[in-house]
Amino acid sequence: MKKAAEYANEKILVLGLARSGVAAAKLLHQLGAFVTVNDAKNIDENPEAQELLALGMTVITGSHPIDLLDEGFSLIVKNPGIPYTNPILEKAIEKNIPIMTEVEIAHAVSEAEFIGITGTNGKTTTTTMIYQLLNSERSKGEAKLAGNIGFPTSDVVLKAKSDDVLVTELSSFQLMGIDKFKPSIALITNLFEAHIDYHGSRDNYVSAKWEIQKNMTSADYLILNGNQAELRKLAETTKATVIYFSTTCLEKEGAYLLEDALVYKDEKIMLASEVGVPGSHNIENALAAIIVAKLSGVSNESIRQTLMNFSGVPHRTEFIGEYDGVRIYNDSKATNILATEKALSGFNNEHLVLIAGGLDRGNGFEELEESLVGLKALVATGETADKLIETAKKMGVTNCVKVSDMGQAVKAAWEISEREDAILLSPACASWDQYKNFEIRGEAFVKEIKQIVSR
């Protein structure tokens, strides 16, 4: 870890804890800053705050008092989830106090280079693919996962050496709080409308994502989804060297899909059908990851073997196993129609039993209609069950079953499925009608599957 002298003896407010806030506070404390921590959760219910207090930091909990800013802080490091409309942040902006996220602090002290991955969909899968690819034949140092994937960057940099590389998933919330952060390779998987409640508009959301490249130079590589005209237009404004990946355009300088082959420049890397996880979105993810691997010197055969053996990320078209000839996939992360549409693209509908449904946000499922054509069966659950069954029947799906919980859903899907079929949980809905989050929903699915196949 490098010393970052600019933080020594500075009064810095860490706003909001969770894992990234704790990591940032500890790192700044180690760098010699005078750290004050402020978290909304009360101290008696806040073991993280208690730990930081024991380390000698000033800890204020229970609310975000605006008069805290009278302490003369030179910097605020905020939890990415706290919106800029929070009164203490609005006042800080008025007072021209810089506001950063912890990835900026981590970058300042890191001996290792950064690879930054952002986008609306596919970030975690692509980040994990890249991590595995860069470690596949590495003889010196290692690739380390960092960022929004569950490993606070401020923790990871403490052990990262100059021969390592930090494969870092970055959210729009994190990217709004950077200043000098600069990855040597950056990747935007795609851009769709998301987090408008936080950003206020799609333009603001896109601008936050585009921050990833703001400090890059022509010596750095920016990998973009060539399928999207919006990203091609944005590419005209960057100083970085742009490389596209695409399933629709043959960009010879990048990675692309040619018939059933994944190609980098003129080199055939592997067949699309060999990628270990199904779906057109995962072909895009694999193409993007291939570019990073090739820029990093990974051989074609290592790329092929790694992507063939890639089984996915938990809850993201994750392959659970094959039982009595039936393949099981957990795509609980598919909390919207687009995600389920992309997941379905990787399966033969004639041999697919789909489990879907969840929170009713008032929308219909018209955008999913074409993807349901030819489906063997739909098992619908949650608040949207009736809507989904109506949509499926409209598209000619005759075997539709309505159930009330995951146990019944798995039982029905298992009874319907036959050898050479697949069962896919891809809800197209948020989980909050029955589960606290999509992870718990996915874990419930996997638990029910394992119970039924063990009988």
Q: Is pLDDT above 90 for 4?
A: no
Give me the DSSP letters along 226-238: TT-HHHHHHGGG-
Using the predicted structure, report yes or no on whether residue 250 has a pLDDT greater than 80.
Answer: no
Token couple for 401: 């079953």
8 Å CB contact between 61 and 41: yes
Higher pLDDT, 95 or 253: 95
What is the C-alpha to C-alpha distance for residues 383 and 249, in angstroms, rounded to an integer? Answer: 40
- Residue 244 near residue 252 (C-beta atoms within 8 A): no
Mean pLDDT of 42-47: 94
Confidence (pTM): 0.86
- Cα dihedral angle (284, 288, 294, 296), rounded to 10 degrees? -150
pLDDT digits (tens, 9 = 90+) for 418-451: 999 999 999 999 999 999 999 999 999 999 999 9
How is domain 318-453 classified at the CATH fold level? Protein-Tyrosine Phosphatase; Chain A (3.90.190)
In this structure, which amino acid lies at residue 384? T
**What are the start-end ranges of the H helices in 185-317?**
196-199, 202-210, 229-234, 280-295, 300-308
For the chain, give every residue range classified as CATH 3.40.50.720: 10-100
pLDDT of amino acid 11: 97
Is pLDDT above 90 for 279? no
Could you tell me where the DSSP H helices lie in 275-405? 280-295, 300-308, 337-344, 369-372, 385-394
- Domain limits, CATH 3.40.1190.10, in the chain: 103-308
Is 193's pLDDT higher than 90?
Answer: no
Gap between the Cα atoms of 339 and 429, Å rounded: 10
- Look at residue 194 in the predicted model and tell me its pLDDT: 84
Residues in the chain: 455
- φ/ψ of 248, rounded to 5, equals -120, -20
Nearest to 445 by CA among 412, 418, 420: 412
CATH of the domain spanning 10-100: 3.40.50.720
pLDDT the model gives residue 197:
85
pLDDT for the residue numbered 395: 98
pLDDT above 90 covers what percent of the chain?
90
- C-alpha torsion angle, residues 166, 244, 288, 146 (rounded to 10): 20
d(CA 132, CA 126): 10
Residue carrying the six token digits 């302490």: 71
* Whether 156 contacts 87, CB under 8 Å: no
Residue 417 has pLDDT above 80, yes or no: yes
Q: What is the largest CA-CA distance in the chain?
A: 69
Which residues define the annotated binding site for ATP?
Answer: 119-125
Cα dihedral angle (33, 34, 40, 46), rounded to 10 degrees? 90
The order of strands in the sheet holding 99-100 is 58-61, 34-39, 11-15, 75-78, 99-100
Condensed to tens digits (0 to 9), the pLDDT of residues 358-387 reads 999 899 999 999 999 999 999 999 999 999
Give start-end residues of each CATH 3.90.190.20 domain in the chain.
318-453
What is the C-alpha to C-alpha distance for residues 254 and 223, in angstroms, rounded to an integer? 9
pLDDT average, residue stretch 249-260: 86
Residue 73: C-alpha distances to residues 98, 99, 430 (Å): 9, 11, 39
Q: Report pLDDT digits (tens) over 120-145.
A: 989 999 999 999 999 999 989 999 99
The pLDDT > 70 percentage for the chain reads: 100
CATH superfamily to which 103-308 belongs: Mur-like, catalytic domain (3.40.1190.10)
In the predicted structure, residue 251 carries a pLDDT above the cut 80: no
- Is 161's pLDDT higher than 80? yes
**Model confidence at 252: pLDDT above 80:** no
Going by the annotation, the residues of the binding site are 119-125
Dihedral angle computed from the Cα positions of residues 174, 177, 182 and 183, in that order, rounded to the nearest 10 degrees:
0
Measure the CA–CA gap between 329 and 314, rounded to whole angstroms: 10
Number of H helices, E strands in the chain: 17, 20
pLDDT at 330: 96
**C-alpha count within 13 angstroms, C-beta hemisphere, residue 350:** 0
The candidate with the shortest Cα–Cα distance to 113, out of 166, 175, 38, is: 166
Q: How confident is the model at residue 280 (pLDDT cuts 50, 70, 90)?
A: confident
Q: Residue 128 in contact with residue 145, Cβ under 8 Å?
A: yes
Query: What confidence tier does 2 reach under pLDDT thresholds 50, 70, 90?
Result: confident
Three-state secondary structure string covering 46-76: CHHHHHHHHCCCEEEECCCCHHHHHHCCCEE
